[in-house]
Amino acid sequence: MIPGSFEYYRPASLSEAVGLLARLGEEARPLAGGHSLIPMMKLRMATPEHLVDLHGIADLKGIRQENGQVVIGAMTTQAELIASDLLATHLPLLRETALLIADPQVRYLGTLGGNVANGDPGNDMPAVMMALDASYQAVGVGGARDIPARSFYQGAYFTALEPGEMIASISIPQPQAGNGAAYEKLKRKIGDYATAAAAVVLTRSEGRITSCAIALTNVADTPLLAEEAAQILIGSALDAESVAKAVAAAETITNPATDGRGTAAYRTKMAGIMLRRALARAFERAAA
């Protein structure tokens, strides 16, 4: 299907983009990689009257270290995450996750900001950002503010962004010593959303887990932070009993839909299996 008509804008600066979004109002949408928005426009599920293309804004691109954080511009592509030596050293979980998103053609245009900003429960990076305790810098005509990833997602396609705001960058604390992380994703085929997926970030000392964060993808209307499950594991040596209790606690908070990926019960159990796998890999990596 052909999208409805719209006006196209290509600002050269962040301030120009923010000004356009404020002036054009609710009928304007920022355009990043376009892999979610353009298909919705073709189906007439989204009919914006104005598109503000962010590709010409250099300030929205790049990866850098700053004050103990890794800061990533919202328009940095998945392919650039994969190629980054800085991320390979300090946050390899992002490369691992980016490699599981769609296919190479999509990853060359798809952006980190687009993946985390639109509130699609099937996107992979939101759960990873929650597990990493990341924050998003939202920019609007009133200035900038930081929003924790853990409080950003409010419902399917509903987020904490105010009208006229857009995400400019993502900040992630550099991992502590003894850190291990993993993302496990079950999908039907290359390019598909997850049937279920789990992100784990933990630290260990003397063989025991000293901190842990767990987040789940595509088993509810939003990514899920499994706080009780993570708390169960703190102090454990990832023994079978603790893992079983944590997996049960994580499964309890899921509420997936029955769809072409499987029944709700199946997808819940797959979330548990993905969590078991992610825990094992993260725990092993933390010992390296």
| Structure confidence by residue, pLDDT tens digits, 32-71 | 988 888 888 888 878 899 999 999 999 999 999 999 999 9
Mean pLDDT (whole number) for 119-131 = 96
Residue 288: is its pLDDT beyond 70?
Answer: no
| Structure confidence by residue, pLDDT tens digits, 176-185 | 888 999 999 9
What is the pLDDT at residue 191? 84
Mean pLDDT (whole number) for 193-198 = 97
**Distance in angstroms (rounded) separating the CA atoms of residues 67 and 213:** 22
Q: How far apart are the first and last CA of the chain?
A: 51
Scanning the structure block, which residue is given the tokens 């998945």? 78
**Distance in angstroms (rounded) separating the CA atoms of residues 56 and 238:** 47
Mean pLDDT (whole number) for 222-244 = 98
Strands 153-155 and 69-73: unpaired
| Structure confidence by residue, pLDDT tens digits, 111-122 | 999 999 999 999
Task: State the DSSP string of 94-157.
Answer: HHHHHTTSS-HHHHHH-BHHHHHHS--TT-SHHHHHHHTT-EEEEEETTEEEEEEGGGTEEETT
* Residue partners of 203: CB distance under 8 A and separation at least 6: 175, 176, 177, 178, 179, 180, 209, 210, 211, 212, 286
Mean pLDDT (whole number) for 170-191 = 93
Residue 196 binned pLDDT confidence (cut-offs 50, 70, 90): very high
Phi, psi dihedrals of residue 149, rounded to the nearest 5°: -60, -30
Rg (CA), the chain: 19
Q: Which CATH architecture has domain 7-53?
A: 2-Layer Sandwich (3.30)
Residue 215: name the closest of 151, 92, 129, 157 by CA: 129
What is the pLDDT at residue 36? 83
Alpha helices, DSSP H only, in the chain?
14-24, 37-42, 78-83, 85-90, 92-98, 104-109, 112-117, 125-131, 227-233, 240-252, 264-286
Residue 155: is its pLDDT beyond 90?
Answer: yes
Q: Regarding the domain with residue range 180-286, which homologous superfamily does it belong to in the CATH classification?
A: CO dehydrogenase flavoprotein, C-terminal domain (3.30.390.50)
Q: Where are the domains of the chain?
A: 7-53, 63-172, 180-286
Mean pLDDT (whole number) for 71-99 = 97
- pLDDT, mean over the chain: 95
Residue 197: name the closest of 99, 102, 128, 107 by CA: 128
Residue 1: is its pLDDT beyond 80?
Answer: no
Residue 190: is its pLDDT beyond 90?
Answer: no
What is the pLDDT at residue 46? 84
SS3 category, 271: helix
What is the pLDDT at residue 248? 98
Mean pLDDT (whole number) for 221-239 = 98
Which residues lie across from 250 on neighbouring strands? none
What is the pLDDT at residue 39? 83
The CATH class of the 63-172 domain is alpha beta
Higher pLDDT pick, 102 / 229: 229
**Distance in angstroms (rounded) separating the CA atoms of residues 244 and 256:** 20
Q: Is 207 left (phi over 0), alpha (psi -120 to 50) or beta?
A: left
